[in-house]
Chains A and B, each alone.
Chain A
Amino acid sequence: MKHCLAALLSGTLFGFGLSLSQMTDPNKVLGFLDVSGRWDPSLAFVMMGALAVAGIAFRFILKRPSPILAEEFHIAKKKTVDKPLLFGSMIFGIGWGMSGYCPGPAVAGLGLGNPEAFVMVASIYLGFVAQGFLAGKRFKKFAPADE
């Protein structure tokens, strides 16, 4: 139960941070990606802020034998870049640029009462299901490398 409260706390901070930084505002996101127009570089500072904290903290945390409330760390072990990673990330970027939302802000947007967020979350899930279907049937080589 404690680990669910921890996840709730982490999610709440995350959602608050996304809203404060305006990652939840698709106009802001598209303004950041629109480098040849009236470019708004603000969102680069979100990443700097996040990496300034997590980039340092992760190093210390991963020196511990285990996390506080669980037996072990669950971290992707795969190190090599493969086709699913390259094509998948490219497709994700296209969808991000078309919509102005990545998954976190889409979910957080539900809390802002943003009608677009409901469309986004539903279509993201549709995409998950479609990908699972394709990877299982025809395009096995594009299945994700498992975590």
Chain B
Amino acid sequence: MENFTPFSAFLGGTLIGLAATLLLWLNGRMAGVSGIMHSLLHSPKTEWLWRFSFLIGLVLGALLFNWFNPGFFTPRSDYPYWLLAAGGFLVGVGTRMGSGCTSGHGICGISNGSPRSITATLIFMASGVVTVYCIRHVVGVGA
């Protein structure tokens, strides 16, 4: 438990909750990142710009954080790129097929009391746990 950071995690979580609240209150939209990313591929111009602005905001927010806290984040350097890319591919396929990700289902959908989102969240958490178990303790990568 040497890396246990409950306070910054909770505080960061409240900011994420506030961000989702703002987007629903002002724009009437759910802050589901996979849905917003995917919609960039087919939105008409009027719908495209707010989505692009949201994603630029995600980048900008991280940039600002890094500016206030230089050295807080060090990128991982030894992780196999093929595993990363294959994982990213499955994240794309899965979030599209399942209509959402950690933000859309895990935060917005659950906040809206959606049974679909509660089910989705339990499933991706469980399959994530099983996958990490297999990779770290059966195959032995990145442990």
- A residues touching B (Cβ–Cβ < 8 Å)? 3-28, 30-31, 33-55, 57-58, 61-62, 66-76, 78-81, 84-104, 106-116, 119-132, 135, 142-145, 147
Contacts and interface: CB of A to CB of B under 8 A. Distances in A.
A47 B107 contact: yes
B99 to A, nearest CB: 5
B20 A14 contact: yes
B73 A80 contact: no
Nearest to B92: A127
Contact of A111 (B61, B76, B108): B61
Classify the secondary structure of A's interface with B: helix
* Interface size class, chain B: 35 or more
Contacts of B12: 16-23, 46, 49
Given A31-B3, A131-B93, A14 B101 contact: no
Given A33-B128, A61-B21, A116-B79, A11 B142 contact: no
Interface string B109-123: 111101110011101
A93 B88 contact: no
B127 A46 contact: no
A16 to B, nearest CB: 4
Contact of A119 (B5, B26, B84): B84
Contacts of A92: 90-91, 93-95, 98, 101, 124, 127
Contacts of A4: 49-50, 53
Given A96-B87, A126-B92, A74 B29 contact: yes
B22 A10 contact: yes
Given A34-B136, A74-B28, A88-B99, A99 B3 contact: no
Contacts of B115: 79, 81
